[in-house]
Copies of this chain bind each other. A is one copy, B any other.
Amino acid sequence: MQDIGKFEVLTESESHARTGRLHTAHGEVETPIFMPVGTKATVKAMLPEELIENGAQIILGNTYHLHLRPGDELIKEMGGLHKFMNWGKPILTDSGGFQVFSLSQLNNITEEGVTFKSHIDGTSYFISPEKSMEIQMNLGSDIIMAFDECLKYPATEDEIRKSSAMTYRWLNRCKEAMTRKESLLFGIVQGGLEYKTRMESLEQICSVDLPGFALGGFSVGEPIELMHKVVKEVGHEMPKHKPRYLMGVGTPLDLILCVDAGIDMFDCVMPTRVARNGTLYTWQGKISIKRAEYKKDPSPLDPECECYTCKNYSKAYLRHLFQMGEITGSRLNTIHNLHFYLKVMEKARAAINEGRWEEYRDDCIRRFS
């Protein structure tokens, strides 16, 4: 208990890449790490044992979705999100901000908070910084994200400054509202995609004494090169002795480039979502399992992969399952993609610890580009 929130930087590379260890109420997390997304109290198509078997250390839950269905109070009554979904390792929940601004029909944004209509049935909801903290504490999250405003891209410098300033005021309200000692509050840096405004937000947000910080406001429609550029510029400017989390990113290549920029934590729906659509990541690049060339292919998805799917099934079988719309296909594909993402990160940690990060990074860039 006394260690909760402690973050140790273990090894630093010559670039900004580093390994670290974050202590949470549900155990330690070795960074850099990818967090599978369990939107609605399940990582789609996966059970907890499979996540663990494939190397997951921590998963993400979505405040917006869980608040709407089945409701955070119900989950609290059922003993919290860990117990509800049978997951004994750490959980990070987002603040709901991103979904409120992207999924719902917005009614009103004020200093007090955001009124919106549910994307499911149009019911009206209000979420404020205090409400977001309450929801996340009801869920029993190990890492709670601050409630922030997510601006659309592009936005003017003036819009960005006003928004960042409110996000900062909201962060202070979030901190004030935190009453659960086992939960760690992370602040979210906004500030758009310009170095100047981004750094202004970074300095504001990181001036608050918190156990970790995130970069938000990416994956909002900007060109991917711009994301890489901004993260490269500001990643290493975040507090060195706190975990740095890049929200909602990304492809295996994005992960490698951003680890290089000093990021420790990632989450993204991509590996699970595209798996269900038949897109698989391999050490030889991305493949679409539905292609006719795999019809009679007895080889595994990836000869370099040791996941359950690659050890036991052929491309021909996976293609058949995909074509038939079988749940088993979604399962096997999801196992592979998550194993792949988690293995990319496991190998990154080993490479950093063993002083050969640049070599591993360059090999990955070659393979994934």
Binding site for B on A (CB under 8 A): 40-47, 69-70, 74, 77-79, 84-86, 295-296, 298, 312-314, 316-317, 319-321, 323-324, 326-332
Contacts and interface: CB of A to CB of B under 8 A. Distances in A.
B326 A44 contact: yes
A213 B291 CA distance: 42
B295 A74 contact: yes
Could you say which of A42, A46, A326, A332 has the most chain B C-beta atoms within 10 Å of its C-beta? A42
A342 B260 CA distance: 52
A314 B42 contact: no
A312 B86 contact: yes
Contacts of A86: 312-313, 317
16 contacts: A40-B320, A44-B326, A44-B328, A46-B328, A69-B320, A70-B295, A74-B296, A74-B316, A77-B296, A77-B298, A78-B314, A79-B298, A85-B317, A86-B313, A327-B327, A331-B331
Q: Give the interface SS of chain A, mostly helix, strand, loop or mixed.
A: loop
Nearest to A329: B42
Contact of A84 (B40, B84, B316): B316
Given A47-B331, A86-B312, A320-B69, A326 B40 contact: yes
Given A78-B316, A317-B84, A47 B296 contact: no
Nearest to A298: B78
Given A84-B316, A85-B317, A312-B86, A324 B74 contact: no
B327 A70 contact: no
A324 B84 contact: no
A328 B326 CA distance: 13
